[in-house]
Amino acid sequence: MATHETTGHTTTTGLDNRKVMMWAFIGSDCLFFASLVSTYLLYRGKSVVGPYPYEVFNIPYTSVSAFVLLMSSLTMVLALSAIQRGDHTRLRIWLLATSILGCVFLGGQYFEFTVFVHEGVTMQGNLFGSSFFTLTGFHGLHVTFGVVILMSFFVMSLRGRLSQEQSLNIELAGLYWHFVDIVWIVIFTVIYLIEAPNVIH
């Protein structure tokens, strides 16, 4: 994201080019994740050997990480609200909070993955391992990029280089961040929760 809108070019729609592009990119990314989710669902129940999802999924644990990511969306939108009001202190607080929550999520993912590997689920082990780790891995990669972007803006703000006029940058970062969150809403339901009956019974 460039750091500053160029001199007053008017656009056909009156909307900023970068915001139009971000929404188009998000539309495109829907297909990226849909293909990964498709692969997972098409292979569900078809692994020739275990371990199987219901043997390793920990629904309460994953619910907590889903909750963490949802809260990070709250802090993200509060950060945007802050810079739109010109409140730089709150901007920094909420940006930092969002990044921390993002890192907590990532830490939780890392821990979950190590447990799974310990229990015999590997990328190379079976269809479940391959499709699960690839899907959640790419989601995690998206979260990581998001944290890097948010922390970059945090540092820029600390240096006095992020003005109220530049709030679009935070808005764009927010759109990206919320998108990553809604992808997790889908993953949480479609990958984890539907296994829950098998896990419990």
Partner 1 sequence: MAANIGSLPKFLQRPTTYSGIWGWIVTVDHKKIGVMYAFTAIFFFLVGGLEAVVIRTQLAFASNELVSPDIYNQLFTMHALTMIFLAIMPLAVSFFNLIVPLQIGARDVAFPRLNALSYWIYLSGGLVLNAGWILGGAADSGWFAYAPLTLDQFGSGSHGMDFYSLGLLVLGISSVAGGLNFLVTIINMRAPGMTLMRMPVFTWMALITSILLVTAMPVITIALIELSLDRILGTQFFAPGAGGDPLLWQHLFWVFGHPEVYILILPAMGIVSEVLPTFSKKPLFGYPFIIFSGIFIGFMGWAVWSHHMFTVGMGPVANATFAITTMLIAVPTGVKIFNWIGTMWGGSIDFKTPMLFSIGFIFLFIIGGLSGVSHASPPTDYQQQDTYYVVAHIHYVLFGGAIFGIFSGIYYWWPKFSGTLLNENLGVVHFILMFIGMNLSFGPMHWLGMDGMPRRIYTYGAEYGWEFWNTVSTVGSYIIAISTLVFIANVIITMRQERRTDLADPWDGRTLEWSIPSPPPEYNFKEIPIVNGLDSFWDTKYTTDEDGNMTPIPQGVSNNNEEEVAIHMPGLSYFPIITGFGLSASAFGFAIYNQYNVVGLTIAILGIVATFFGSYGWCFEPADPEDHH
Partner 2 sequence: MTTEHHDIEHPSSLKYVVIAIILSIVTALEVAVVYIEALSPVLLPLLGILSVGKFIVVVGYYMHLKFDNKLFTLLFATGLILAVYILTALMVLFRVFI
Binding site for partner 1 (CB under 8 A): 1-4, 6-7, 11-13, 15, 17, 20-21, 24-25, 27-29, 31-32, 35-36, 38-39, 42-43, 46-49, 123-127, 129-131, 134, 152, 156, 161-163, 166
Q: Tell me: does residue 197 bind partner 2 (CB under 8 A).
A: yes
Contact map string, positions 33 to 72, toward partner 2, x by CB under 8 A: xxx-xx--xx-x--------------xx--x--xx--xx-
CB of 151 to partner 2, least distance (A): 20
Q: Could you identify the residue written with the tokens 């129940």?
A: 45
Residue ranges in contact with partner 2 by CB under 8 A: 5-6, 8-11, 13-17, 19-20, 23-24, 26-31, 33-35, 37-38, 41-42, 44, 59-60, 63, 66-67, 70-71, 73-74, 76-78, 81, 84, 165, 167-168, 174-175, 178-179, 181-182, 185-186, 188-190, 193-194, 196-197, 200
